[in-house]
Amino acid sequence: MVRRLTVVCVLTMFVAVAVHAEKRYGPGVTDTQILLGQTMPYSGPASGYGTYGKAQAAFFRMINEHGGVNGRKIELLSLDDGYSPPRTVDQIRKLVEQEHVLAIFSSFGTPTNTAIVKYLNLNKVPHLFVTSGAAEFSDSKTYPWTMGWRVNYVSEAKVYGKYLRQTRPNVRIAALYQHDDAGRDLVRGLREGLGDRAETMLVATASFEVTDPTVDSQIVTLQASGADALFILGSAKPAAQAIRKVWDVGWRPLQFVSNTAASVATVMKPAGLEKSVGIISGAFLKDPTDTHWRNDSGLKEWLDFMKKYYPEGDVTDLYNVYAYATAQTMVQVLRQCGDDLSRENVMRQAANLKDLELPILIPGIRINTGPQDHSPVEQMQLQRFDGKQWALFGDIITP
């Protein structure tokens, strides 16, 4: 499936810093157009995440009404890969070799992006704001043409480990993790956060495949370990299944879910709101279910956007907030490029974001990048689910 989305990008909230010089164009660029590409799981086991691409398209449609990025329209080619790495490879090659896109923007998934990262770097194609927190996508030395966006999984889980070590040093921990690079990064970060207490505090682990029909057997095994804290480190569907099964078997550990599974719409509601009370996670975006932001201008802007441009989208779904923020970041990079829209300058500007504040980020969290810093968002705050919404607590943390 191909979704061809013609959009115009301009963000009046950002200060234009582009220097207009002699025009330099990379593939997919003309005086009137910038061509970007991405892959999304519009079908397959992770199809619920297709809302990322839909929300990004809606954002671009919104700003289409305001002119353009330095007078140029963006055409976004969004291809379905079904969350299948071999299919991702085929689609990305099509985007680069046949469609001649300038850059790959916000493609979804850890295994899918792992399958294309070497190809894109070999061909010096900007691979920006990957929709995954795998640490490899922030490794500027190994992959200089790739950049993540969110707090990476190792850093995120390190925060959870440090929190437990400081507040409940004698707790026995079990971890359920997705059997891929993302899950392994999260377990690694948890161990690093626990430090020299990791071997005594982390008493059991169990993994699952994203295609597994349930995680029931893993939960039963972890319960038998005697753990009184449980980390659920994976995507939305298995996280919802795990929360529900923990409740149904009468196990009442202190629970943590990774940020990717902190959606009220796709995790807490399917699991059961009453079964999710007390769960802890990390946040860097304003959660639309948190009444703390009821009168916040940034969230109001987002809600207005959703109502007008993506009315079929769920306004309780944090994935739609994430998509909005990544699209804003991409626009800022293109604005900074000015008339030098070579692939080299796109990467140069992506690595030159300084104290960028987005209205939808938690106050105090800013985006910063550099030639050796390919982690735009590096701060977060802990939050606890109260049965209706997430409630932030503690200070902004830099892992």
3-state SS record for the chain: CEEEEEEECCCCCCCCCCCCCCCEECCCECCCEEEEEEEECCCCCCHHHHHHHHHHHHHHHHHHCCCCECCEEEEEEEEECCCCHHHHHHHHHHHHHHCCCCEEECCECHHHHHCCHHHHHHCCCCEECCECCCHHHHCCCCCCCEECCCCCHHHHHHHHHHHHHHHCCCCCEEEEEECCHHHHHHHHHHHHHHHHHHHHHEEEEEEECCCCCCCHHHHHHHHCCCCCEEEEECCHHHHHHHHHHHHHCCCCCEEEECHHHCCHHHHHHHHCHHHHCCCEEEECECCCCCHHHCCCHHHHHHHHHHHHHCCCCCCCCHHHHHHHHHHHHHHHHHHHHCCEECHHHHHHHHCCCCCECCCCECCCCCECCECCECCCCCCEEEEEECCCCEEEEEEEECC
pLDDT along the chain (399 residues), means of 10: 42 44 89 95 91 92 83 91 97 98 96 97 98 94 97 94 93 95 92 95 94 94 97 91 97 95 90 97 93 93 96 92 97 96 98 96 96 95 94 89
Domain boundaries, the chain: 2-150+295-378, 153-283
pLDDT recorded at residue 398: 84
153-283 shares the fold of 2-150+295-378: yes
Please tell me the CATH superfamily of domain 2-150+295-378, with its number.
Response regulator (3.40.50.2300)
Residue 48 has a pLDDT of 86
Q: Specify the pLDDT at position 21.
A: 54
Q: Provide the pLDDT for residue 60.
A: 82
Predicted structure pTM score: 0.84
What pLDDT is attached to residue 20?
Answer: 45
In CATH, which superfamily holds the domain spanning 153-283? Answer: Response regulator (3.40.50.2300)
